[in-house]
Amino acid sequence: MSWIVSLPCTRDEAEALSGEIPELDALAAPPVVVTREIDEEAGTWQLDAYVDDKPGADLLALLKSLVPSATGVAPQVEALPEADWVTLSQQGLEPVRAGRFFVHTSSYADAVPAGTTPFLIDASQAFGTGGHDTTAGCLAMLDRLAATGASPRNIADIGTGTGLLAFAALSLWPRARAIASDIDPASISVTRENAAINGVALGRSGGQLALAVAPGTDHPAIRHRAPYDLVVANILAGPLITLAPDIAAATAPGGHAILAGLIARQMEPVFAAYRAQGFRLAARGGSAEWPCLLLTKRRRYGYRRKERAFHRANPADATFGSW
């Protein structure tokens, strides 16, 4: 039997909990934490933590410390029937329309609008269903890039989660070669399942998606395929900054990088890390709180040795494969 612990929180607290939570990650069996808006007009939010065993006083106190606004409020603790609690945490996701894309769960399979490119991504043990602003922002940015006439032939999705962004890129550029990676083997398993559901061919040739379990660009297949015309990295600000030299080395001159997973106040330090690697800002999308950056790597003229990506990030310093 699994359990859910619920506490009220503010929007700022919810956004702060959207990335890594070191206090929970240090636990032997960390809970899955989900925040959601309860009432848009009232501005009320809620934290839900899913755990396998009945939570003790120490865990309840730790969860309360994450949401100071709930001081004095008793956590609601409820036993759940036997089920996949990660799936339960994502049930009820509304469809997302971003550019030409329509991302939905099985519950909305009969509600696909005409003229859209649909993807069925059910709740799973990996993130990236399209329901978060960062994922929706990346989908819209991919659509925007295609509208400019860009035609990347070699694509990498770093921290793929469910595979959604790689699927979307291949739908826009069906002759391209693409590779999707994630540090979490479960994410790659989910991506493989989602590829079968959505008719995405897996393989190493044009129009096919290769898969790799890897932190950042640290995989022989990723390095061998470099440089890329398009790199997508929807992870977190810290990993994005750490990986800037590697993503730059993996991106072809004139190529593009789509970066997301950062909040508004992190945009400047993230962009500064890539500007130092020869990128310029081509467009900004996403939402006010969750920006999505489209960067272009400046072309260099004259003789220069061929670049390869060399991984500099320590897998321990960041969580990849987030929203």
- Say if residue 218 carries a ligand binding annotation: no
- The SS3 call for residue 75 is coil
pTM over 0.75: no
Under 8 Å between Cβ of 257 and 273: no
Question: What are 62-77's pLDDT values in tens digits?
Answer: 999 999 999 999 999 9
* Residue 219 phi, psi (nearest 5): -155, 135
d(CA 203, CA 225): 13
Query: In the prediction, which pLDDT does 320 show?
Result: 37
199 Cβ neighbours under 8 A, 6+ residues apart: none
Q: Which tops the pLDDT comparison, 115 or 94?
A: 115
Domains identified in the chain and CATH numbers: 2-83 (3.30.70), 133-317 (3.40.50.150)
Q: What is the 3-state secondary structure (H, E, C) of 272-285?
A: HHHHCCCEEEEEEE
Chain mean pLDDT for the chain: 85
Annotated binding-site residue? 159: yes
Measured CA distances, 135 to 75, 130, 138, 214, 322 (Å): 31, 5, 5, 20, 10
Q: Which residue has the higher pLDDT, 190 or 306?
A: 190
Question: What's the chain's length in residues?
Answer: 323
**Contact between 221 and 212 (Cβ < 8 Å):** yes
Q: How many CA atoms lie within 13 A of 247 on its CB side?
A: 36
Q: State the DSSP string of 264-318.
A: GGGHHHHHHHHHTTTEEEEEEEE-SSSEEEEEEEPP--S--PPP-------GGG-
How confident is the model at residue 305, as a pLDDT? 44
Determine if residue 242 is labeled as part of a ligand binding site.
no
* Spatial distance between the Cα atoms of 198 and 57, rounded to a whole number of angstroms: 44
In the DSSP assignment, the letter for residue 192 is H
Q: What does the pLDDT read at residue 20?
A: 67
Query: Looking at residues 245-274, what average pLDDT do you find?
Result: 95
pLDDT for position 157? 98
pLDDT at 141 over 60: yes
Comparing CA positions, the residue from 267, 242, 250, 235 lying closest to residue 317 is 242
The SS3 assignment for 63 reads helix
- Establish whether 182 is an annotated binding residue: yes
Task: Return the DSSP state at 202.
Answer: B
Amino acid, single-letter form, for residue 128 = G
User: Does 129 have pLDDT greater than 60?
Assistant: no
